[in-house]
Amino acid sequence: MLIIFLGIFSQWLAWLFRLPAIVLMAIAGLIAGPLLGIISPEESFGELFRPFISLAVGIILFEGSLNLNFREIRGFNRPVIRLVTVGAFVTWVAGSLAAHYIAGLSLPVAFVIGGLFIVTGPTVIMPLLRQAKLKPRPAALLKWEGIIVDPFGALLALFAYHSLLFIEGEVTAGSFGLFFLASLFAALVGAGAGWILGQMFERGKVPEYLKAPVVFAVVLFTFALSDAIMHETGLLAVTAMGVIMANMNISSIGDMRHFKENISVLLIASVFIMLTASLSVDVLISIFDWGIIAFVLVVLFVVRPLAVGIATIGTDLTWKERVLVGWIAPRGIVALTVSGYFASVLLEAGYPDAEILTALTLALVFSTVVAHGFSIGWVARKLDLAFSDEPGVLFVGANLFTTKLAVLLKEMNKRVLIMDRSWGRLQAARQAGVPTYAGEVLSEHTEYDIDITPFPTLVAATEIDSYNALVVNNFVPDFGRENLYQTAIHQADPKDFRATMSVRVLFGNEWNVHKLEEKITEGYEIRKTTITAQYTYEDFLENWHEGTILLLIIRASGAIAFYIADQHTEPQPGDTLISLAPPAQKEQRIQERLQSSRVKNGTQS
């Protein structure tokens, strides 16, 4: 209970105060475990501790690989390939040499652990990307590298270990060759499981309510089967399975992805707490050895930039993208879990220096998590590779009202985008200089053409009520229910409709999109009124003209707050109130200005 609570509570605090979640989870585990001794997961779970961690990592890696659609890297696949091949190799060699000459490990042990240290992985990369709001290219590079390299890091360490045994004559060439066969078998098992499962889903052989549980069970089975044949090949199997399913265009892949994301959040939180809480005080003290500290600094400031610099030679990456990718490489759960396994087998093989592997790994993991977790947002913003915190609005449905509102928000330096299935309906928005996209917002293809990261708010304002509700409910996992809105219902009783679909109705139940368009046709204008200490909200209400519709408030901080049905929203001094005002009010304001001008001219004369 405490493990799950601390993990989720840490993530909530991270969201609340905009801090790196992985840092808070690591700190929470250290405080509850070795520092205060409240929990000791390894003792509590006993023999189930390592298998649970391994299976959890397998599920997390599968969930990450389920997002690896090749269309995402269309146009810049060369840097990705170079990063996961040349970059990984340079990291292995340079990191191993640093472990030998700086941390004092023997060459065999250094090359084994150096292979493991190439991994970043979805357990640390995905929370950082969620936090930093990077632009598509650098985000895709870091995500693909983390997920693809994750299983190969463990396999590379295993390869180095088998090479060591082969050189020392403890295994034959045939036994050494079995390593490659086992790795190939794991990849084929994973790919085959993914393809068969995808075909079953597409042909209706699995009912909807069983799809997510079936995927969950098959992932665990595939991982365990491969790992039973050869240790650490299970990660390769589930990665292959996820990549195959991600590129099969399975219609229900979105629902499975949301389910796996929820599971992964729980597992990442739990595993981080379990691993850090299981460390001993002696291990924590040993990480302050000067050799370990120097090794970490070399990995951070020499090995990683060198690997990325060499890997990206001849690619079209900008120098800013190279700097960012060359800095961000946090190590995570796979490094912590697998290093314990290799520490034990190397000690048994007669390498006493392997006893510092746990401390060395912990130092690298914690240092990179803290350094990259706190700096990724700042560095990305300085390099102009992250979207600013300025709120944006994505309008689904092009019409007179959404175009007028988008124009005003754009004039106020807010990011806006209008999407519609009809190119013709977007003509007015295009002529007004508003960014547009002609396509189906619910289509999987759209998410590879348009990045919705800069738009934390979505407004569904098409003429079809059921479609608006479908869009809103489809994007709940991406935006959060509090950031999704739709215009009022006009085809049925709003109360009946809202009873079946949970929606936030804009402006009031009587203002559907047809009535809003009618008001624009009648000459209504979208106006902005700045609320100050001299001109208060009460003053605005006193000058209220019948027919005025309150639309939204732009807070002094820049945040956007829409008026919605059954909820009172009040502007404060410094806020800007946006309303749809009737032409009578417009004429009245013109008359007031003319009268003021006459009085001023008369005074001057």
Identify the weakest region by mean pLDDT among 114-123, 359-368, 572-581: 114-123
Question: What is d(CA 575, CA 553) in angstroms, rounded to the nearest whole number?
Answer: 7
Handedness of CA 71, 74, 78, 83 (dihedral sign): negative
Question: What is d(CA 447, CA 400) in angstroms, rounded to the nearest whole number?
Answer: 26
Interstrand relation of 457-460 and 549-554 (parallel, antiparallel or unpaired): unpaired
For residue 170, what pLDDT is reported? 64
| 529 phi/psi in degrees, rounded to 5 | -125, 125
For residue 491, what pLDDT is reported? 58
- Tell me how far CA of residue 115 lies from CA of 96, 151, 205, 226, in angstroms: 8, 11, 42, 20
- Tell me how far CA of residue 445 lies from CA of 272, 410, 449, 458, in angstroms: 34, 26, 7, 18
- Burial (CB count <10 Å: 0-12, 13-18, 19+), residue 80: buried
Q: Where are any strands of DSSP class E within 213-334?
A: none
- Tell me how far CA of residue 97 lies from CA of 92, 287, 295, 342, 469, in angstroms: 9, 19, 10, 18, 58
Percent of the chain scoring above 70 in pLDDT: 87
Taking residues 120-137, report their average pLDDT: 75
Confidence check: pLDDT of 41 > 70: yes
Q: What's the distance, CA 473 to chain centroid? A: 19
- Each residue's pLDDT tens digit, 271-326: 878 878 887 787 778 888 888 899 999 999 999 999 999 998 888 888 998 999 89
Beta bridge partner(s), residue 129? none
- Each residue's pLDDT tens digit, 416-462: 899 888 888 888 888 888 888 888 887 756 665 676 777 888 888 88
Query: Residue 537 has which token pair?
Result: 């909200």
- Burial (CB count <10 Å: 0-12, 13-18, 19+), residue 593: exposed
The pLDDT-based confidence of 193 (bands split at 50, 70, 90) is: very high
The topology (CATH level 3) of 392-604 is Rossmann fold (3.40.50)
Interstrand relation of 576-581 and 549-554 (parallel, antiparallel or unpaired): antiparallel
Q: What's the distance, CA 274 to chain centroid? A: 23
pTM here is 0.67
Confidence check: pLDDT of 600 > 70: no
Query: Residue 540 has which token pair?
Result: 């605005």
Confidence check: pLDDT of 599 > 60: no
Question: What is d(CA 165, CA 60) in angstroms, rounded to the nearest whole number?
Answer: 31
The pLDDT-based confidence of 500 (bands split at 50, 70, 90) is: very low
The pLDDT-based confidence of 603 (bands split at 50, 70, 90) is: very low
Confidence check: pLDDT of 499 > 50: no
Identify the weakest region by mean pLDDT among 15-19, 156-160, 361-365, 387-391: 387-391
For 217, which DSSP code? Answer: H
The amino acid at residue 561 is: A
- Tell me how far CA of residue 266 lies from CA of 215, 241, 317, in angstroms: 17, 21, 35
Higher pLDDT, 496 or 277: 277
Query: Residue 141 has which token pair?
Result: 């590079």
Nearest Cα to 272, choosing from 601, 504, 41, 516?
41
Q: Residue-wise over 165-190: b if at least 16 C-beta within 10 A, else e?
A: bbeeeebeeeeeebbeebbebbbebb
- Each residue's pLDDT tens digit, 548-580: 888 888 888 788 888 887 777 778 888 888 888
Average pLDDT of the chain, as a whole number: 80
Confidence check: pLDDT of 262 > 80: no
Residue pair 56/270 in contact (Cβ under 8 Å)? The answer is yes
- Tell me how far CA of residue 63 lies from CA of 1, 75, 269, 373, 476, in angstroms: 24, 24, 15, 21, 19
Q: What is the CATH number of domain 2-382?
A: 1.20.1530.20
Question: What is d(CA 160, CA 114) in angstroms, rounded to the nearest whole number?
Answer: 9
Question: What is d(CA 581, CA 526) in angstroms, rounded to the nearest whole number?
Answer: 6
Confidence check: pLDDT of 362 > 50: yes
The amino acid at residue 357 is: L
Q: Give the highest mean pLDDT range of 182-186, 539-543, 586-590.
A: 182-186
- Burial (CB count <10 Å: 0-12, 13-18, 19+), residue 7: buried
Question: What is d(CA 290, CA 103) in angstroms, rounded to the nearest whole number?
Answer: 8
The pLDDT-based confidence of 97 (bands split at 50, 70, 90) is: very high
Q: What's the distance, CA 347 to chain centroid? A: 39
| 134 phi/psi in degrees, rounded to 5 | -70, 160
For residue 133, what pLDDT is reported? 76
For residue 183, what pLDDT is reported? 84
Taking residues 187-197, report their average pLDDT: 92
- Each residue's pLDDT tens digit, 372-383: 888 888 888 888
Confidence check: pLDDT of 509 > 70: yes
Q: What's the distance, CA 60 to chain centroid? A: 13
Beta bridge partner(s), residue 228? none
The pLDDT-based confidence of 604 (bands split at 50, 70, 90) is: very low
Question: What is d(CA 514, CA 129) in angstroms, rounded to the nearest whole number?
Answer: 40
Residue pair 9/272 in contact (Cβ under 8 Å)? The answer is no
The reply to whether 2-382 and 392-604 are identical in fold is no
Interstrand relation of 457-460 and 392-396 (parallel, antiparallel or unpaired): parallel
Domain coordinates of the chain in residue numbers?
2-382, 392-604
Nearest Cα to 364, choosing from 105, 563, 570?
105
Residue pair 396/441 in contact (Cβ under 8 Å)? The answer is yes
Query: Residue 459 has which token pair?
Result: 């407004």
Question: What is d(CA 315, CA 421) in angstroms, rounded to the nearest whole number?
Answer: 36
Q: Cα–Cα–Cα angle for 246, 247, 250, nearest 5°?
A: 70
Other beta carbons within 10 angstroms of residue 495's beta carbon come to 9
Residue pair 409/393 in contact (Cβ under 8 Å)? The answer is yes
Residue pair 255/354 in contact (Cβ under 8 Å)? The answer is no
